[in-house]
Amino acid sequence: MDPYKYRPASAFNSPFWTTNSGAPVWNNNSSLTVGSRGPILLEDYHLVEKLANFDRERIPERVVHARGASAKGFFEVTHDISNLTCADFLRSPGVQTPVIVRFSTVIHERGSPETLRDPRGFAVKFYTREGNFDLVGNNFPVFFIRDGMKFPDMVHALKPNPKTHIQEDWRIMDFFSHHPESLHMFTFLFDDIGVPADYRHMDGSGVNTYTLISKEGKAHYVKFHWKTTCGVKSLLEEEAVIVGGTNHSHATKDLTDSIAAGNYPEWKLFIQTIDPDYEDRFDFDPLDVTKTWPEDIIPLQPVGRMVLNKNIDNFFAENEQLAFCPSIVVPGIYYSDDKLLQTRIFSYSDTQRHRLGPNYLMLPPNAPKCAHHNNHHEGFMNFMHRDEEVNYFPSRYDPVRHAERFPNPPGVLTGRREKVVIEKENNFKQPGERYRSMDPARQERFIKRMVGALSDPRVTHEVRSIWVSYWSQADKSLGQKLATRLNVKPSM
Q: Does 65 bind ligand HEM (CB under 6 A)?
A: yes
Beta bridge partners of 96: 76
Q: How far apart are CA 422 and CA 288, in angstroms?
A: 8
- Of 137-145, 168-176, 368-376, 417-425, the segment contacting ligand HEM by CB under 6 A is 137-145
Helix (H, G, I), strand (E, B) or coil at 43: coil
Nearest distance in Å: CB 205, ligand HEM: 7
Nearest distance in Å: CB 361, ligand HEM: 12
Residue nearest to ligand HEM (CB): 121
Closer CB to ligand HEM, 104 or 273, in the complex = 104
Q: Is 354 a catalytic residue?
A: no
Closer CB to ligand HEM, 126 or 471, in the complex = 126
Q: 261, 265, 229: which is closest to 72 by C-alpha?
A: 265
Q: What single-letter DSSP state applies at residue 432?
A: H
Q: How far apart are CA 65 and CA 144, in angstroms?
A: 16
Q: Is 65 a catalytic residue?
A: yes
Q: Does 138 bind ligand HEM (CB under 6 A)?
A: yes
Q: Does 351 bind ligand HEM (CB under 6 A)?
A: yes
Q: Does 151 bind ligand HEM (CB under 6 A)?
A: yes
| Of residues 205-224, those binding ligand HEM (CB under 6 A) | 207-208
Q: How far apart are CA 472 and CA 480, in angstroms?
A: 7
Q: What is the DSSP string of 132-191?
A: EEEEEEESSSS-S-S-GGGHHHHHHHHSPPTTT----HHHHHHHHTT-GGGHHHHHHHTS
Nearest distance in Å: CB 68, ligand HEM: 5
> Does residue 394 have a cis peptide bond before it, meaning omega lies within 30 degrees of 0?
yes
335 labelled binding-site residue: no
Q: What are phi and psi of 275, to 5 degrees?
A: -75, 120
Q: How far apart are CA 226 and CA 311, in angstroms?
A: 20
Q: Does 124 bind ligand HEM (CB under 6 A)?
A: no
Candidate list 84, 105, 107, 121; residue touching ligand HEM; CB under 6 A: 121
- Of 90-98, 228-236, 265-273, 350-358, the segment contacting ligand HEM by CB under 6 A is 350-358
Candidate list 69, 340, 453, 466; residue touching ligand HEM; CB under 6 A: 340
Using alpha carbons only, what angle is made at residue 367 by residues 366 and 370, rounded to the nearest 5 degrees? 140
For residue 41, the tally of other CB atoms under 10 A from its CB is: 13
| Of residues 424-483, those binding ligand HEM (CB under 6 A) | none
Candidate list 86, 136, 157, 454; residue touching ligand HEM; CB under 6 A: 136
Q: Does 323 bind ligand HEM (CB under 6 A)?
A: yes
Q: How far apart are CA 162 and CA 37, in angstroms?
A: 47
Q: Does 137 bind ligand HEM (CB under 6 A)?
A: yes
Helix (H, G, I), strand (E, B) or coil at 149: helix
Q: What single-letter DSSP state applies at residue 411?
A: P
Beta bridge partners of 133: 126
Annotated binding site for heme: 348
Binding site for ligand HEM (CB under 6 A): 62-65, 68, 102, 104, 121, 123, 136-138, 143, 148, 151, 207-208, 322-324, 340, 343-344, 347-348, 351-352, 355
The catalytic site residues sit at 65, 138
